[in-house]
């Protein structure tokens, strides 16, 4: 196989409960996250090895790093260490997911690279081995191995499928994503959580609420929570101002995804998004990123 094209979906966190700081520097969390039908595209093309690097990355978006700081390279080198594969690949990334948004773009790209290398190399890893390798790359990465709503625990590497009945309340739901012109650095956000030490939530209470939602029949809106909002809203006042306006004017409960700065609201089927777009642009300006999508 000389060329592989992989869809690299964005995700949103419907529930994100950061419960405490770990001794390894990461944070423990409980989350329900869902990939979307919107995302990036990664093309992997086989290339002859020469004196140059084994892997090359190109992308038209100037803000995307093309060096080893990009998780695509981290994934590719991890694949080589795990399999011993010595082929060369040129990765071509079409970037649609905004950076610094809390939508998991970098993690999704890394797993897309793993899937592409797996196929180009002739299938050197089992699905379980691929999932285990993805979990070593970053906290969100394991989510993208199987693109479906999932429960995330630990630092995000412990993945469990959402039960079928609950998944039916999520899959296909229509969402509107919107991100201001500014981004929020994930490392900064978690550093603030650690320093403030006041925003953590109870594991027991969160698990109780999650268990009740999974066993019930309430829609996804009743699950929404994110305790990373407090620190983000303190610094970036534009976020809570707009979410409050959407709640008052349209009776829509918006949430921030992950560590931000992207937010989202659920839309009913047939509901026009035009009034919301007008309101969002009036608050955040014409440079705002807006995208409709559906949960996978």
Positions marked active-site? 11, 140
Q: Which residues contact 278 (CB under 8 A, 6 or more apart)?
A: none
Instruction: Please state, in angstroms and as integers, the Cα–Cα distance from residue 23 to each residue in 27, 28, 64, 172, 201, following that order.
Output: 9, 10, 31, 38, 18
Tokens 């082929």 — which residue?
87
> Whole-angstrom Cα distance, residue 86 to residue 184?
37
> Whole-angstrom Cα distance, residue 47 to residue 45?
6
Tokens 């590497």 — which residue?
157
> Whole-angstrom Cα distance, residue 178 to residue 181?
10
Tokens 């010595």 — which residue?
86
């Amino acid at each position: 196989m000389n060329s592989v094209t992989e869809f690299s979906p964005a995700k949103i966190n419907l529930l994100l409960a950061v419960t405490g700081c770990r001794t390894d520097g990461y944070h423990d969390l409980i989350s329900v996250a869902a990939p979307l039908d919107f995302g990036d595209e990664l093309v992997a093309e086989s290339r002859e090895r020469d004196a140059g690097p084994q892997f090359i990355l190109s992308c038209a978006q100037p803000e995307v790093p093309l060096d080893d700081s990009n998780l695509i390279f981290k994934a590719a080198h991890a694949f080589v260490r795990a399999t011993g594969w010595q082929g060369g690949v040129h990765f071509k990334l079409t970037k649609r997911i905004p950076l610094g948004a809390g939508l998991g773009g970098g993690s999704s790209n890394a797993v897309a690279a793993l899937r592409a290398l797996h196929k180009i190399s002739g299938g050197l890893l089992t699905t379980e081995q691929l999932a285990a390798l993805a979990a070593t790359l970053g906290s969100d990465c394991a989510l993208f191995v199987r693109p479906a709503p999932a429960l995330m625990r630990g630092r995000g590497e412990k993945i469990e499928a959402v039960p079928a009945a609950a998944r039916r309340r999520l899959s296909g739901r229509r969402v509107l994503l919107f991100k201001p012109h500014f981004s929020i650095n994930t490392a900064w956000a978690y550093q603030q959580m650690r320093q403030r030490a006041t925003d953590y939530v109870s594991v027991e209470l969160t698990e109780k609420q999650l268990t009740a939602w999974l066993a019930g029949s309430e829609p996804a809106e009743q699950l929404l929570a994110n305790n990373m909002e407090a620190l983000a809203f303190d610094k970036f006042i534009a976020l809570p101002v707009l979410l409050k306006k959407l709640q008052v004017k349209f009776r829509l409960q918006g949430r921030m995804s992950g560590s931000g700065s992207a937010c989202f609201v659920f839309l009913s089927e047939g509901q026009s998004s035009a009034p919301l777009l007008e309101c969002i642009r009036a608050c955040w300006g014409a440079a705002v990123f807006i995208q409709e999508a559906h949960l996978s």
